[in-house]
Structure 1
């Protein structure tokens, strides 16, 4: 075990606190698709305790087990002792990365996330040459790979690429349509998938804020929140991106009323996991700075519902649609941030809402490793969600998370479910159009 993690994080204490009640097992995403005691929350915790006591070698078998967790936090949600199983697994993955290294294609991906300008160039080239390696899907959900790549297998559905990223599509300052004595000023943190692939999310949020007569600030030097690297154990990339972002946010946050993030994973990472990361790696100054920044960080629909008249505007002026919407709760929204009512509150005035049998069940995205080396688990986890969506007969499925969008689009395509995925902000914006 790496010295830093061993000193700061006590896996044995977590293992000793587990009462082995088994409440976590029925809700565990990996156990649902791979029913083995070792790949269950209490199995993970027990093995981690043995690892710290020196009774378990961190070999390839242990690596495979610890990388099989989806980090969905379902176990944390039901645990009578509130044991942070996801947190201990995130930390042991740093040890895995130290011992086994990180695959070259992941290193390349994290390098791009650390360097926005280079990522812009790569994504622009990807847009220009995408048809060479990718074919447009007939349901317009994305692009299918023509051949196998290190990160994706042949036939895999990938999100399409935008000609121009969201951050490069707008000026940094967008004044409210009507300038009053003092309008609210809101900063936007867009997230990588919404920036380069699902750009309609950011466009919709801009339109909504204009309707609310709010001044918009789009900080152009923002980097990735660090979640992909964090869930993979790339500590150096996480530290670099979080510190750069915090320093940048501090330069303008006092002049903003809030920073909105239209992505559940990014929002949870910035608002919650940054502090956890710095605490676990003994950086109290940065933990305090992350906590201060987090005071103004909000998931977009939560802030819009809690702090504006948007719901009433939608009731009074919004177009009414016959197409039903079913809402999927992203793990990092409902379980990590307690957000699930607000997006429904904003959709209900204009769309018939129909609930899935289990809207809280993880879609099975699971992070970079799950989407590449262990994609068979992600595919298995996506099948029941696609079946639930089919059963609702809804025209749209919605979730404020582009990772869920990517995963559910693949699952629905494989199951030939015709339902269309839209971020709630896209549906809300559509209801506000004349």
Structure 2
């Protein structure tokens, strides 16, 4: 990754102001404000780097309003990396204004897996006192809002009794010749644990041995999108050192999470662009990173198994393309190919539209933007008349589940890995 990609002035000069980014921009579709359109971001960032714009609270508010959905990058005729330069300026924002205490606490937990395990266990013990759990939808709604508007009438994931990483042995012998590692992601580890259970079942059916690295840490995405580069640095380097101790023993690292996969495969290199030694180490890991459906569709005989042995379901499924899957990794055909073997697949009017998750800041200080972005997606899902909406991303799952709840749409969310496992049981 060349340093020029973070030359804000050059990027600003290269923007031809054609406006193709505006119709696809998630935040611009909400507020119709030119300053928070992609070309507005680029112009302001160029001015900031030239010393013509002070990084005051107004600029901070503007730069934190981007969902980082990368729609603009996909639409831009010059492939300008708007998302990457916003990620960089958020580091400057964090250094100047600090990071809210609850974010710092969350990122500290992400650094400390053992403490996170204990916190999740306490959460599981006490959650029934304060939330109403809906097992079918894998979500919960607070019984009391405690004066906190952010949890009022909001569907959120809940902690499971045992995390995925603590549920299985490190090595699962499925009597096969191949061996893959599973990177599970934090939300699937603690809340949506059926994703990992389903992946284990699929690998068993395929006779592919599984290695579950117990010391894996968060990929760093939540901290990266927030500008906490100290946490990113710690997580990325710890993971790289750990991966290097076993990566030659596995054919691939498969990840049933678009954001985690994109972070490790692509954004680790973006982050390490000015640290050449670590950059080279990250580059050696990247070729072995696969989204789960990408690996299963292209590297195994799962399609044939689903056709010959898989159960057929009448349920209508609609698929949402996570931003970090289709736009960053080009993964969109693979999950559809696998799902359609056993389910009726119905496309929504715009499966590519960002669901509105947007990261930790968007889910906290700017939650009103997340709600505004999510309701159109809920409406699209409703129009399909599907019983199930699927996406290979737990961030999308959390956001879409809440959007469906806010809109009163009765649709269940399942990761494609869960759907596939149900078909081969």
Name the TM-score class by shorter chain. Answer: over 0.9
Q: Which residue of 2 aligns with 1:419?
A: 411
TM-score, normalised by the number of residues in structure 1: 0.95
1:297 pairs with one of 284, 289, 299: 289
Conserved in 2, the CA contact under 8 Å of 1:133 and 1:147?
A: no
**Is 1:187–2:181 an aligned residue pair?**
yes
Q: Does residue 156 in structure 1 map to residue 148 in structure 2?
A: no
Contact kept? 2:138, 2:192, Cα under 8 Å: no
Report if the CA contact (8 A) 1:105-1:151 is conserved.
Answer: no
Q: Work out which of the residue numbers 19, 22, 25 in structure 2 matches 1:22.
A: 19
Asked if residue 99 in structure 1 is aligned to residue 93 in structure 2, the reply is no
Tell whether the 8 Å contact from 1:325 to 1:351 is kept in structure 2 after alignment. Answer: yes
Matches within 5 A, 1:396-415: 396-415=388-407
Give ranges in structure 1 of 5+ residues lacking alignment: 1-5
Are positions 1:111 and 2:103 aligned together?
Answer: no
Within the candidate set 333, 337, 347, 1:355 is matched to 347
Residue in 2 that maps onto 1:3:
none
Q: Is structure 2 residue 360 aligned with structure 1 residue 368?
A: yes
Q: Is residue 2:127 matched to residue 1:130?
A: yes
Instruction: Count residues in correspondence.
Output: 422
Cα distance between partner residues in 2 of 1:113 and 1:14: 33
Are residues 1:225 and 2:219 paired?
Answer: yes
Task: Note if 1:49 corresponds to 2:46.
Answer: yes
Matches within 5 A, 1:297-316: 297-316=289-308
2: CA distance between counterparts of 1:54 and 1:143?
A: 47
Instruction: Render the CA deviation track for 1:40-98: whole Å, top value 9, x for unaligned.
Output: 00000000001011111100000000000000000000100000000000000000000
Change (3 A) 1:8 1:345: closer
Residues 300-335 of structure 1: CA deviation (Å, up to 9, x unaligned): 000100000001110011000000110000000000
Give yes or no for contact 1:105–1:150 (8 Å, CA) kept in 2: no
Match for 1:428 among 412, 420, 423?
420
Superposed displacement of residue 34, structure 1? 1.1
Structure 1 residues 393 and 299: alpha-carbon distance in aligned structure 2, compared to 1, 3 A threshold: same
* Cα RMSD after superposing both structures: 1.4
Which sections of structure 2, spanning at least 5 residues, go unmatched?
none
Please give the TM-score of this superposition, normalised by the length of structure 2.
0.97
Query: What does residue range 172-321 of structure 1 map to in structure 2 within 5 Å?
Result: 172-176=170-174, 179=175, 183-279=177-273, 282-321=274-313
Q: How far is the alpha carbon of 1:154 from its aligned partner?
A: 2.2
Structure 2 counterpart of 1:147: 145
